[in-house]
Amino acid sequence: MVSGMADLGAEAILLAGAGRAILLQLAEPGVARGVAEHSTFTDRPINRLKGTLTYVYAVVYGTDEQVKEVRRRVNRAHAPVRRAADDKSPGYNAYDAGLQLWVTATLYDTALTIIEKVYGPLDDESADAMYRDYAKLGTALQLPGQMWPEDRAAFGHYWDEKMRALRADENAVRFGRGLLYPKRAALWYLAIMPFARFLTAGLLPDQLRQDFGLAWSHRHERRFNRTFKILALTYPKLPVGIRHWFKDYCLNQLDISSRQAMAA
């Protein structure tokens, strides 16, 4: 049992769960439809990841001005992502509170999964604090506070119900595999993708692994477990400055870009 941990959302090790969170989001049909018609994130995956994490870091750890800026950016990006229901589509809307609840839930559950694999189970105080922090990611946008499950037990019921019905449709698979198997990207990104795919596959439930065409076997499972045992032994011993470097980098870049925009 791990107690007294602060700033859990700032840990760089959470990057290991990025692929899982995105594929879980895509497996929600409303999200996948919006991505299919409006997003180019498979062409710019690093920009998408940086943008998402900058939003997370600003909402949880940022100043009032930083929160205001990331909310403005996200709302501007979401504004055109909508389509009325018709004979061909049930429609979608990026401002839909139910979809925002799901996206927030995937970020929280993925972060908790990674943290507990590396640090072990959290004590109630740390777990409750982390749960409250992640609720802000949705309520800072269009998610009403009363829609976020009241406590971790209520969240567990919500999560289990969603996961029982979750399947990746054609749009989800197309964009998910486009993310996992990029055709054009920087050499360093292509070099890390086999390991990123491996981590993503290991963190997904079996049904979604199959939906996205990710191979898995007992050999993969043993290697996956060894990987996290090594991370659990080594990562917590790193200096805080290294473990939180990406949070500090993203917030610094946010300030720089905001100043440049004001000066333009």
pLDDT in tens, 184-236: 788 888 899 999 999 999 999 999 999 999 999 999 999 999 999 999 999 99
Q: Provide the percentage of residues in the chain whose pLDDT is more than 70.
A: 93
- Find the domain containing 81 and state its range: 8-263
d(CA 168, CA 208): 7
pTM: 0.91
The number of residues in the chain equals: 264
Place of tokens 């997370």: 56
d(CA 119, CA 236): 7
- Which residue, among 111, 108, 134, has the nearest Cα to 11 in the 3D structure? 111
Considering the domain boundaries, does residue 1 fall inside one? no
Considering the domain boundaries, does residue 65 fall inside one? yes
Considering the domain boundaries, does residue 194 fall inside one? yes
Measured at the CA of 15, the angle between CA 162 and CA 208, to 5 degrees, comes to 35
Reported confidence tier of residue 261, pLDDT bands at 50, 70, 90: confident
Reported confidence tier of residue 35, pLDDT bands at 50, 70, 90: confident
**What is the reported pLDDT for 84?**
76
Considering the domain boundaries, does residue 14 fall inside one? yes
**What is the reported pLDDT for 13?**
96
- Asked if residues 243 and 12 have their Cβ atoms less than 8 Å apart, the reply is yes
Q: Which residues of 86-106 are buried (b: 16+ CB within 10 A; e: fewer)?
A: eeeeeebbbebeebbbbbbbb
Reported confidence tier of residue 81, pLDDT bands at 50, 70, 90: confident
Considering the domain boundaries, does residue 230 fall inside one? yes
pLDDT in tens, 176-187: 998 899 887 888
Out of 41-50, 66-75, 119-128, 183-192, pick the least confident. Answer: 41-50
Reported confidence tier of residue 1, pLDDT bands at 50, 70, 90: very low
Mean pLDDT of 49-53: 87
> Exposed, middle or buried, 39 (CB in 10 Å: 0-12/13-18/19+)?
middle
pLDDT in tens, 167-177: 999 989 999 99
Please state the domain count of the chain.
1
